[in-house]
Structures are given as structure tokens and as C-alpha cells.
Amino acid sequence: MQPVHRLDPSVSNDAKPPEGTRRIIDGLERVYYDGYWIKTYPVPADSLDAKKRLIEALTRRLFNHTEHGLNIPGTRLAEARQAYEAETDPGRRRVKAAMLAGALFNRATDIFRKLVELQGEGVEIRSDDALMRECGHCLLEAMELGHFVLHRSGEEGIDELWGEPFRAFSIPVEDFYESRYIKMGQTLRDIDRIADAMVACFASIPAFADSEAAIRDFARAARTKTETLRTDPDIFDVWSELVTAGERLANYAPHPVAVDGVPPMHNISDGLQLIRNGRDLVFYITRARTPMPKSTREYIERCENYVKTGLVPLLPAPLPG
């Protein structure tokens, strides 16, 4: 299991390699983005079948990270559209828009699957074929509805996930893979931003002064998981390391100490909850391999607030299910 290689942040911009530079490091090809050398994988041949498998995988991944109830079969697209267009309540209309987006994605996947079957029977499928255009229209409309959809945490949407199937459809497979490495670099950057904010917060509080090792171990495991595909032979070691590092962080025990008889000013329960919130956010980002800028920004602000006030504001309630 090879860890993600990070360029020393103190290196001057002039000494940094151009974005997209590839090098062999420890026997593996890596590509440089956002200060990180990210593990690369072979790119499949650019074919209709490769695009079909990619879009299917991206659609499954999308439903795995978004709120429940959106995986509407493509055969129910007309029903989903009618339900959305007839709804007037803003809250229910948002949810029905998300359900319509799910049906559109599944319809596009259904069409692509049939096109590949026809191609396998020797039927030539041109890029301007009516079914190809219909598939593109479904993916584009679904992407436009993506801003109505929330992450399973209920904190924000992940618009990038909704755009990926359309990008996979509309650009060469090689270009799509390269765009994913760019997004992984941004994800690794935000994992470290969250870890840095946690260390800066808790290092100044005596009860949590020895928490840095657990935070850094978890961030390191999260970075490695971000760059590792599920099909990689290393996934068994990589995933188990991430889970156990997360458990160690969640089970961290503070050491509250009164100074000169004065009790600690920082609420210990709030601090523990803040650590677990940070662990959860890093898990969300790592599994999606996509930044969550709103959640990251708000978490860092909560860390700063805890240092100043000793308390953590309540989070909004998560979505049901």
C-alpha cells in the first residue's frame, strides 16, 4: 500500500512541476495536481461500451452519496416529470425535482445499454443517432436539476457528481479520467485543510493536546483511500486502515485538567462532538472523492468558534434515512 505523495508546501512555485506532470514514484505512475502526486490507472479504450460502463458506474456512485429515494427507474420518467411539474409546495417540489433527475439518469443509462447491445449485433451507431441525442438530453437535464439534490448528510449538494455522467458522455474517456485526477487533487487538499483546522483547534486546548497523532493518521488514511479505486488489489488494506483510523479518532479520550482550581473553559462534550463531525466530513469527502466546499468552510468556522468560546453551535438535523 503506497501512500499519497505530497509535495513539500514550502517549495517555491518556480520549483513546482506543472499541473498534470506524470512521474514514476516508488515504481508507480503518479500525476501531479494541487500539490499531490496521485496514483494513476490505465484508461480503457474510448468506445461506446467503455462509456456505457463508465456512466453506469458513475450513476451507481451518484445514488450512493445522495439523499435516499432518488433511484427512480427510467421507465417511470413520465410519472416523475408529471409529479414534479404538478407540485406547488417548494419543499416537496425540490425533492420531486431530485427524483426526476434520478429517473433521467436511469433513462440515459437504459438507452446507452441498448445502444451497446445493438453495436454488438453489428449495427453502426453514429454520434448523431436519435437515441444518442436523447441520451445526451437526459443527462444534460439531470445535471441541470442536480442543484436540487443534497448529500446524504443533508448539509449540501455535490453538484460535481451530477455533472460527471454528462461529461463522461460528451468527452473522450481519457479526458474524463484526467478531470477526475484534477478533482482528486482538490479533494486531497480539502482533507488536509480539515485536518489542519482540527489540529490548530485542539492543540491549543490542554484537554485535547495529544489529539494530533490520531487526526493526522486519519487524514493520511483518507488521502490514500481517495486515490485508490475499489478495483485496486490494495483496497482491502486501504479501506480497513481508513475505518480503523476513523474509529481511533472517534474513540479519542480527552484529559480535562483544572488549572489552579479553575475548571476547563472548553466544553469537553462539544469538543468530542466536533472531532466526530470532522471525522464524518472527511469520510463523506473521501468516499465521494469530491470536495464539499460549503461543509468544509462551515466546519473550519466551527473549529475557530470552539477555540474562542469553548462551545460548538448545533448542526442542522441530518436527513431521515
Q: Is the pLDDT of residue 239 over 90?
A: yes
- Please tell me the number of Cα atoms within 13 Å of 166 on its side-chain side: 20
Q: Give the pLDDT score at 10.
A: 55
* Beta bridge pairs of residue 38: 31
Higher-confidence position of 69 and 165: 69
Residue pointed to by grid coordinates 416537496 = 92
What is the pLDDT averaged over residues 176-192? 94
What sign has the CA pseudo-torsion 149, 152, 156, 157? negative
Q: Give the pLDDT score at 262.
A: 52
Q: Is the pLDDT of residue 141 over 50?
A: yes
Question: DSSP 3-state assignment of 303?
Answer: helix
Question: DSSP 3-state assignment of 30?
Answer: strand
What is the pLDDT averaged over residues 179-204? 94
Q: Give the pLDDT score at 159.
A: 63
Please report which confidence band the pLDDT of residue 54 belongs to, taking 50, 70 and 90 as the band edges: confident
Query: 132: exposed, middle or buried (C-beta count within 10 Å: 0-12, 13-18, 19+)?
Result: middle
What is the pLDDT averaged over residues 127-142? 85
What sign has the CA pseudo-torsion 191, 188, 235, 162? positive
CB 6 within 8 A of CB 36: yes
Question: DSSP 3-state assignment of 262?
Answer: strand
Nearest-angstrom CA–CA distance, 53 and 109: 9
Query: 122: exposed, middle or buried (C-beta count within 10 Å: 0-12, 13-18, 19+)?
Result: exposed
What is the pLDDT averaged over residues 3-32? 80
Q: Give the pLDDT score at 264.
A: 63
Please report which confidence band the pLDDT of residue 299 belongs to, taking 50, 70 and 90 as the band edges: very high
- Among the residue ranges 109-118, 135-144, 296-305, the one predicted with the least confidence is 109-118
Classify the phi-psi angles of 26: left when phi > 0, otherwise alpha if psi is within -120 to 50, otherwise beta. Answer: left
Q: Give the pLDDT score at 263.
A: 57
Query: 215: exposed, middle or buried (C-beta count within 10 Å: 0-12, 13-18, 19+)?
Result: buried
What is the pLDDT averaged over residues 68-93? 94
> What does the DSSP assignment read for 107-175?
HHHHHHHHHHHHHHTT----TT-HHHHHHHHHHHHHHHHGGG--BTTSS---HHHHHHHHHHHHS-HHH
Please report which confidence band the pLDDT of residue 22 belongs to, taking 50, 70 and 90 as the band edges: very high
